[in-house]
Amino acid sequence: MAKLRILTVIALLTGVLATAGAQNLDMEGAQPVADGSRPMRGMTAESVESRFGTPDAKVAPVGDPPISRWEYKDFVVFFEYDRVIHAVSKRKQTS
| Phi, then psi, of 83 in degrees rounded to 5 | -115, 140
Host H or E run for residue 87: strand 83-89
Judge whether 70 and 58 are in contact, CB under 8 Å. Answer: yes
Q: What is the pLDDT of residues 6-24, one digit of tens each?
A: 777 677 766 655 555 556 6
Q: What is the pLDDT of residues 36-67, one digit of tens each?
A: 788 999 999 999 999 999 999 999 999 999 99
Cα–Cα distance measured from residue 36 to residue 64, given in angstroms and rounded to the nearest whole number: 29
Q: Does residue 27 carry a pLDDT above 70?
A: no
Cα–Cα distance measured from residue 95 to residue 92, given in angstroms and rounded to the nearest whole number: 10
